[in-house]
Amino acid sequence: MTVFVVADHRRGDLRDVSFELLTAGRELADAAGTDLHAAVISGDTDAFADKLNREGVDAIHVVDYGEEFNHDVYAQAATSLVENLGVDFLVVPNSVNGLDYAPAVASRVDWPYVSDAVDLGYVDGTLEITREMYGSKVETTVAIDDGPVVVSIRGAEWPPAEGDGDAVVSTFDADIDEDTVGSTVTGFEEADGGDVDISEAEFLVSIGRGIEEEENLELVEELVDVTDAILSSSRPVVDNGWLPENRQVGQSGKQVAPDVYLAIGISGAVQHVAGMKNSDTIIAINTDPNAPIFDIADYGIVGDLFDVVPELIEQFGGTPPDI
């Protein structure tokens, strides 16, 4: 039996989740009494294998094919690894690239697929996967009685593996069939930069879905004005086109770590928290006392932003706009 993890990399660097996968994989391997193998597909595989060779990794397989992620190549290579190396648990990242190939591998090898695990357990031969539903309002345990599974894990839920390993590194010939590669990656682009770099700000006032209407932005703009803060936001505000992309904090936006992050009407979905949890001081204003943003906040106000923000503006000598 083997636990098998597949690393994630982009433009020459292994992504953090690759090292978290090693920890999650090692824990599962210990619980199930198996070995942990890691695979790295495409890119500078020798250098990647070297970096992945951390404590607890028994073997590393490299598939030397192409430079960047291509889902057709990954799906073929991972399927071939699973079919040839006696894999029981295939653990991959729930990253944008993981979303792009893991379901296909599960389908090809005819294993169940469970995504976005935040915890994994192995009890009496049953794999127990903890995952969230209904926008993080509920956690569930999904049990898989017997047989193998493909599972993807959420980033930043496990610590990165550390220490030097003594894994055996070998090359795996995945025998990629080029005729079946129906997608071509033609390049990469950074999202619009714009005039403001929110990642440099000391004080961010960040607005979320709670603002409700575009017209109401005037209220936080006044607060930003009187406090000399920089305005940022969570995803829905940018999706609605109310603020430009360069203001978005989160997994798909910017990573920020200001002295103070004031989250107004932001529930604190995991994708948002991933972009701001390293802020020195986090303050949250939200009507929902159960909003996950309070889990990471240092200070909290359970209240309506339309009551609190005007008062805050007055605290700093401003006049709240009529909205």
Partner 1 sequence: MESQMKVLVTVKEVAVVQDGFEIAGTEIDDTYLSYDLNEWDNYAVEEAVQLAEAGDDVEVVAVTIGPERSEETIRAALAKGADRAVRIWDDAIADAELLDVETKAQLLGTVVEREEPDLVLSGVQANDDNFGATGVALAEEVGFQWAAVVNALDTGNVLEEGVASVRRELEGGVEELTDIDLPAVLTIQTGINEPRYASLRGIRQAQSKEISTWTIGDLGLTEDVAESSLNITAMYKPESESDAEYFDGDADKQAAQLADILRDKEVVAE
302 part of the interface to partner 1, by CB under 8 A: yes
- Give dist(CA 14, CA 251) in Å, integer: 16
- Binders in 6-35 for partner 1, by CB under 8 A: 10-11, 15
CB of 101 to partner 1, least distance (A): 7
Applying CB under 8 A, does 249 fall inside the site for partner 1?
no
Residue 46 within binding range of partner 1, rule CB under 8 A: no
Q: Which stretch binds partner 1 (CB under 8 A): 25-33, 34-42, 139-147, 211-219?
A: 139-147
Site for partner 1 contains 312 (CB under 8 A): yes
Is position 99 an interface residue for partner 1 (rule: CB under 8 A)?
A: yes
Binders in 260-289 for partner 1, by CB under 8 A: 260, 262, 280-281, 283-284, 288
Near partner 1 by CB under 8 A: residue from 46, 191, 194, 200: 191
Decide: is 147 part of the binding site for partner 1 (CB under 8 A): yes
**Sequence-distant (≥ 6) Cβ neighbours of residue 219 within 8 angstroms:** 211, 305, 306, 309, 310, 313, 320, 321, 323
Q: Is 157 in the site for partner 1 (CB under 8 A)?
A: no
Residues 145, 123: Cα–Cα separation, whole Å:
10
Question: Which contacts of 25-29 are long-range, i.e. CB under 8 A and separated by 24 or more positions?
Answer: 25/91, 26/56, 26/57, 26/161, 27/120, 27/158, 28/3, 28/89, 28/91, 28/120, 28/122, 28/127, 29/2, 29/3, 29/56
Decide: is 251 part of the binding site for partner 1 (CB under 8 A): yes
Q: How far is the CB of 42 from partner 1 (least distance, A)?
A: 14
Judged by CB under 8 A, does residue 303 bind partner 1?
yes
Residue nearer to partner 1 on the CB measure, 11 or 33:
11
Query: Pairing relation of β-strands 203-207 and 168-171?
Result: unpaired
- Cβ contacts of 91 within 8 Å, gap of 6 or more: 3, 4, 5, 6, 21, 24, 25, 28, 120, 151, 152, 153
Site for partner 1 in 229-248 (CB under 8 A): 229, 235-236, 238-241, 245, 248
Residues between 194 and 213 that touch partner 1 (CB under 8 A): 202-203
Tell me how far apart the alpha carbons of residues 107 and 114 are, in angstroms, rounded to a whole number. Answer: 12
Q: Which of 55, 58, 100, 218 binds partner 1 (CB under 8 A)?
A: 100
Exactly one of 185, 225, 321, 323 binds partner 1 (CB under 8 A); which one? 185
Strand partners, 54: 164
Under rule CB under 8 A, residue 319 binds partner 1: no
Q: Which stretch binds partner 1 (CB under 8 A): 30-38, 39-47, 58-66, 305-313?
A: 305-313
Under the criterion CB under 8 A, does residue 82 sit at the interface with partner 1? no
Q: In whole angstroms, give the CA distance from residue 108 to residue 172.
A: 19
Distance CA 25, CA 37 (A): 8
Q: Are 85 and 2 in contact (CB under 8 A)?
A: yes
| Residue 252 is a binding residue for partner 1 (CB under 8 A) | yes
Backbone angles phi, psi at 249, to 5 degrees: -100, 135
Determine which residue in the list 253, 263, 267, 276 makes contact with partner 1, applying CB under 8 A: 253
Which part of the chain contacts partner 1 (CB under 8 A), choosing from 47-55, 58-66, 135-143, 211-219?
135-143
Amino acid at 246: N
Of 13 and 58, CB closest to partner 1: 13
101 binds partner 1 (CB under 8 A): yes
